[in-house]
Structure 1
Amino acid sequence: MTPEATSDSVPRPGGTGPLAGRTVSRIGYGAMQLERLHDRRDDAVALLRHAVERGVDHVDTAEFYGSGFVNEVIREALRPEDDVLVVTKVGADSNPGGRVRLRLAQRPEELRASVEDNLRSLGVERLDVVNLRRLDTGPGLRPEGDQVVDLDDQLATMTALRDEGKIGAIGLSSVTLDTLRRALPAGIVCVQNAYSLVARDDELLLELCAAEGVAWVPFFPLGGAFPGLPKVTDDPTVQDVAAALGATPSQVGLAWLLHHAPNVLLIPGTADAAHLEENIAVGDIALDATTLGALDAVTSRSYDVPIG
């Protein structure tokens, strides 16, 4: 895998791939972990600056990460000349003090309010990409009561916001194959679902994305985010491959995703500079046919575990 360089000759981690009409690094940065640096704001800004300086030009965020803190860090750290594509999401809001840290916000007026909140905290006039997190599948909360909203009503709001120039492009998150099929005519540019080497329920969804030129951006790419969910790093085959390559099991799990499909973009997150370097190095890991075959044969287990 040969990384392509940015305009100032910094290699793009993992090479490049298309997203919303742009060419971005296939290894991006998931900013959620920056909220762990809430009391060390300067360190959070410095970490994100380091990621950009290392060629990362695709950042994933949400207003509900740290109740706006993460977006504020992005606003402070990124400069126009960095030309970083920032993807945010709507469909949930932060719920400080609640048993579950998120509350659903699926109604059209809530989606619009969340877009406005992201515009304010990021300090921009237009959001590059906004993912509508439907929460129809995967681990996590499920809509109930007035939070059960028809997809067409949500897409009408999202496309209106795009027509108004507040959104550049629309993505989806936590959706089923049927939902994606229904939504494609609206011009979907990416899908974020829980997906990893050990949890591949959405293989058909990934294949449809590849066929339609839609980026596949897995969250929980190493599994195990909630108790009882499978972890890539616990798998013996992954551990054996890592030992043979002189890599970590986490790096092998991420490298498999890059090799598995050309439309995969990664957004691994971290609050640690050394871990960031490990994630960036994933783009240099080569997996031969024999190794890929062994990893492909790893048993996939279901991710459909509601919580909350």
Structure 2
Amino acid sequence: MGIDAAGTIDIKDLGTVRRLGYGAMRITGAGIWGEPADPEAARAVVRSAVDQGVDFIDTADSYGPEVSERILAETLHPYPDGLRIGTKAGQARTGPDQWVPLGRAEYLRQQVELSLRRLGVETLDLFQLHRIDAKVPTAEQFGVMADLQREGKVRALGLSEVSVAQVQDAEQYFTVASVQNRYNLTDRRSEDVLSYCTEQQIAFIPWAPLDAGRATEPGGTVDTVAQRLDASQHQVALAWLLQRSPMMLPIPGTASVAHLTENLAAADLVLDAETVAALDALG
């Protein structure tokens, strides 16, 4: 069946997308900084994602910075019908692998305007606050997001790396359509957030979905399951995520067409109850 086997998810204020997306962070240079080593390869993987049925792509103004959004636009604009691109702002970049939360209202507004320009659209499909800035009142950060939505600059709004309480705080200002937290086989610190999102029908977008640490070592649980199912470890990790919650929207990122194709094939992998229990135990 291909990617369709993963099913679909309804994102509030945005609509329906397939439940396996593509994360466009890695089409930049080392340290998520500067241009990719092979620009044509970066464009090829973006094209292939759409050709293979991906209709949700995740990016951010800080990836590069600016590089990921620009490559997406250069490669895909005018965008195919049904393709949704989610972007983020709220982290300044001071160098490779350096990330500094910055949530002042005028900065977030500026970055939305710049993302609109780079992506070549009049309205962003999904805009997420990349990090809550502890130095800025949340009312200022959430307030400008609500303003941008009312002004038609963005369709749907989301958050990244937040607690349940922070999601509930944001809900006083706007409809939270998505939450993007770190979550994978061995990192379940956001389990309560996932449960809340599942109950409230908020899309949960796990970042670092393939990072399972020592569980992937030869003879480890993930390796054993993968060999038994004649699948890759990445496919096992993604299949587990897809079966974890109907609101789960994994966005595995890669700069390789071969790895992209492998990841998307996880949609066809169904894990039995015994396998799920063994993988659940890793957390």
Q: TM-score, normalised by structure 1?
A: 0.83
**Equivalence for 1:107:** 104
Structure-1 separation of matches of 2:5 and 2:149: 30
**Which position in structure 2 is the counterpart of 1:70?**
68
Give the direction of change, closer, same or farther, for the CA distance of 1:49–1:163 in structure 2 (3 Å limit).
Answer: same
Q: 1:154 aligns with which of 141, 148, 151?
A: 141
The one-letter code matched in structure 2 to 1:24 is V
Q: CA deviation at 1:133?
A: 2.1
Is the CA contact (8 Å cut-off) linking 2:44 and 2:257 kept in structure 1?
no
Name whichever of 33-42 and 45-54 sits farther off.
33-42
**1:17 matched to which residue of 2?**
9
**2:178 corresponds to which residue?**
190
Q: Give the aligned partner of residue 205 of structure 1.
A: 193
Q: Distance in 2 between matches of 1:31 and 1:231?
A: 26
Matched, 1:215 2:214: no
1:133 aligns with 2:126: no
Query: How many angstroms apart in 2 are the aligned matches of 1:293 and 1:121?
Result: 44
Question: Kindly tell me: are residues 114 and 53 of structure 1, through their superposed partners in 2, closer, same or farther at Cα, counting changes over 3 Å?
Answer: same
Q: What secondary structure, in the 3-state scheme, does the structure 2 residue paired with 1:191 have?
A: strand
Q: What amino acid maps onto 2:248 in structure 1?
A: V
Distance 1:122 1:231, change over 3 A: farther
Name the SS of the counterpart of 1:286 in structure 2.
coil
Counterpart in the other structure of 2:88:
89
For residue 156 of structure 2, what is the aligned residue in structure 1? Answer: 169
Q: Is the 8 A contact 1:221 1:253 kept in 2?
A: yes
The Cα of 1:277 is off from its aligned counterpart by 0.6
Q: CA deviation at 1:223?
A: 2.7
Deviations 1:46-81 (A, max 9, x none): 221111010000000011111212111111222333
Q: Which moved more, 1:177-186 or 1:156-165?
A: 177-186
State the SS of the aligned residue for 2:4.
coil
Gaps of 5+ in 2: 30-34
- Residue type of the alignment partner of 1:255: A
- Give the Å deviation of 1:31: 0.3
Structure 1 residue 38: Cα displacement: 2.2
**RMSD of aligned Cα (Å):** 1.9
1:267 maps onto 2:267 in alignment: no
Change in CA separation of 1:25 and 1:290 when aligned onto 2, cut-off 3 Å: same
Q: 2:26 aligns with which of 29, 33, 36?
A: 33
CA contact (8 A) 1:93 1:114 kept: no
Contact 2:41/2:256 (<8 A) preserved: no
1:288 Cα deviation (Å)? 0.7
Mapped contact 1:222–1:250 kept (Cα < 8 A): yes
Unaligned runs of 5+ in 1: 4-10, 136-142, 225-229, 301-308
Residue 232 of structure 1, CA deviation: 5.0
Q: Aligned partners of 1:103 and 1:207: how far apart in 2?
A: 28
CA distance in 2, matches of 1:54, 1:13: 13
What is aligned with 1:52?
A: 50
Larger deviation: 254-263 or 29-38? 29-38
**Distance of 2:20 and 2:10 partners within structure 1:** 12
198-207 vs 99-108, which moves further: 99-108
Q: Percent identity?
A: 39
- Structure 1 CA distance, aligned partners of 2:233 and 2:92? 33
Shift of residue 222, structure 1, vs aligned partner: 2.3
Instruction: State how far apart, in whole Å, the 2-side matches of 1:42 and 1:232 are.
Output: 34
Q: Which residue is equivalent to 2:32?
A: none
CA distance in 2, matches of 1:66, 1:276: 20
TM-score under structure 2 normalisation?
0.90
